[in-house]
Structure 1
Amino acid sequence: MSTALGRVAPPLVLGAVVLLVWQLVVEVGNIDAYVLPSPADILGEITAYLPVLVSATVVTGVNALVGLVVGTVLGAAFAVAASTWRALDELVAPLVAVLAVIPIVALAPVLYTMFGAGEQTARQVVASVAVYVPVFVTTLRGLRQTTPVQRDLMRAYAATRRQVMRAVRLPAAVPFLATGVRIASSLAVISALVAEYFGGPRGGLGSYITSSAAQSDYARAWSYVVAAVVLGLVFYVGTTALETYVLARRRR
């Protein structure tokens, strides 16, 4: 208990100090709200619009979660296939490179045209694309971690390719997959959030941030930013806990 408190206390203290300094700088410097609203003003907006904040966070969170799940499944599946067939690996590698550099600002409007501006599908696809790349790369790296001794042993037992995959390669790749999911979790939230800036149905955090800023409600826009930060932390903490659990089971 004391160890956990020792880990949590320093970030909390630092956060409190940052907020206090932020409040003092805004008040003493008489900084305009459009430049930087004070934490007190942001807290007031959070309190006043809490139901809307929760609703918007759920919308963005669902889109990010769908993208995380779909991107993880596709990334892991293609990694397994690419590690099994070299020809497929050579075909998929350029595709992964292309997906890694596609800007969301260009992809989101195109997907809204494809799937309809009134659907959440485009945002989920954007999140899936962002998740796919790190999951594919890390999982493929894990599948290639088998040692020559392991391969020779399986060959001595006349194991089939499927048996080698199930008994040796997949267990070796699981920690890498968990790490990839942790890395991708933040990307899923960011991608879903950014995709909301460029159209689609109103309701997500990104939509409310842009509309609040356009209406000069800067403290309210920051309140949605705070909600986005909290959502990202929830995803990150959840996937970090999953990674810790996987690594702990592997050590047994």
Structure 2
Amino acid sequence: MSATTATIPERALARGSAYRTVVAPIVLGVAMLGLWQGVVDGFGIEQYIVPTPTDIWHEITDNLGSIVDGSVSTGLNALIGLVVGALVGILGAIIAGVWRIFDTIVAPLVAALAVMPIVALAPVLYTMYGADKETARQIVAAVAVIVPVYINTLRGLRQVRPVHRDLMRVYAASARQQQLAVTLPTAAPYVFTGLRVASSLAVISALIAEYFGGPIGGLGKSITSSAASSNYALAWAYVFGAIVLGLVFYCAALAVEMFFTRHRSTP
């Protein structure tokens, strides 16, 4: 009886959490779409200025295959850039955490990468690697990923308290054992935070890089060509595809974080 009674507040709390995280955003999104439709129709706004959600939806259904193909092309470049950039960022942070002099040396480089404009980097890379290659787009995505992953990982590595390190030394733990038992578990939440931020940046960077050349294909090219032909509803349909792609990357990064967090906490 008491066990059943004790679970009631927990169930109510779970339902409230589910409502806040799932139902409430959906209701807000539907309300915003309805307001968008009402404003455009009510004020007679031309489609070339702002198309209605129904016009965009018609373009999505009519060009679903093209949107999926463009999402796959952009998503593959973003994924390669995310993996490469994350590996470089994590490895660099580990080296900087062990040798402070390395952090001092690369700090100006990290600052330069953080403020480097993609619009200037993409054309240069197309010239270097060829306009018929996807390499430039992948490098742009990787560059955008390195900075948040490096900074967050390095911060996490430096969160270990001295008393915990001293305790490991008292137990005569080796450097490898200290890393596995204390340093990496402490840094893990910061690493995943950097990856969540970087997952969206990878998609955005790959998308923007497509505006400045490269092979035909990808959502960025499709948005540009649709807008150039004054088919703004179709351009918005490809924008919708980019939004979905970004959400997929973000949710995938969040799912990986939840998996490792649950796995680590399981006895």
Please report the TM-score for the alignment, with normalisation by the length of structure 2. Answer: 0.90
**Deviates further, 160-169 or 198-207:** 160-169
2:45 matched residue in structure 1: 31
Where does 1:73-152 land on structure 2 (aligned, <5 Å)? Answer: 73-152=87-166
1:200 matched residue in structure 2: 214
User: What displacement does 1:158 show?
Assistant: 4.2
Q: CA RMSD in A?
A: 1.6
User: What displacement does 1:65 show?
Assistant: 0.8
Q: In the aligned structure 1, how far is the partner of 2:117 from the partner of 2:150?
A: 19
Task: Name the aligned partner's letter for residue 183 of structure 1.
Answer: V
Q: In the aligned structure 1, how far is the partner of 2:155 from the partner of 2:265?
A: 20
Deviations 1:86-145 (A, max 9, x none): 221111111111100000000110111111111111111111011110100111111111
Task: Name the aligned partner's letter for residue 222 of structure 1.
Answer: W
1:168 matched residue in structure 2: 182
- Stretches of structure 1 that go unaligned for 5 or more consecutive residues are none
Q: In the aligned structure 2, how far is the partner of 1:156 from the partner of 1:9?
A: 51
Query: Which of 20, 23, 38 is the equivalent residue of 2:34?
Result: 20
Aligned length in residues? 252
Q: Secondary structure at the residue paired with 1:145?
A: coil
1:246 matched residue in structure 2: 260
- Stretches of structure 2 that go unaligned for 5 or more consecutive residues are 1-13
Deviations 1:51-97 (A, max 9, x none): 10000000011111111111111100010011111221111111111
2:24 matched residue in structure 1: 10
User: What displacement does 1:25 show?
Assistant: 1.2
2:200 matched residue in structure 1: 186
1:153 matched residue in structure 2: 167
Q: In the aligned structure 2, how far is the partner of 1:81 from the partner of 1:163?
A: 17
User: What displacement does 1:247 show?
Assistant: 3.2
User: What displacement does 1:230 show?
Assistant: 0.6
User: What displacement does 1:161 show?
Assistant: 3.4
Contact 1:138 1:179 in 2 (8 A): yes
Task: Name the aligned partner's letter for residue 242 of structure 1.
Answer: V
Larger radius of gyration: 2
Q: In the aligned structure 2, how far is the partner of 1:26 from the partner of 1:89?
A: 53
Task: Name the aligned partner's letter for residue 68 of structure 1.
Answer: L
Q: 2:47 matched to 1:66?
A: no
Q: In the aligned structure 2, how far is the partner of 1:166 from the partner of 1:251?
A: 15
Aligned-residue identity in percent: 58
Q: 2:231 matched to 1:217?
A: yes
User: What displacement does 1:169 show?
Assistant: 1.3
**Deviates further, 31-40 or 216-225:** 31-40
Q: In the aligned structure 2, how far is the partner of 1:238 from the partner of 1:19?
A: 26
Please report the TM-score for the alignment, with normalisation by the length of structure 1. Answer: 0.95
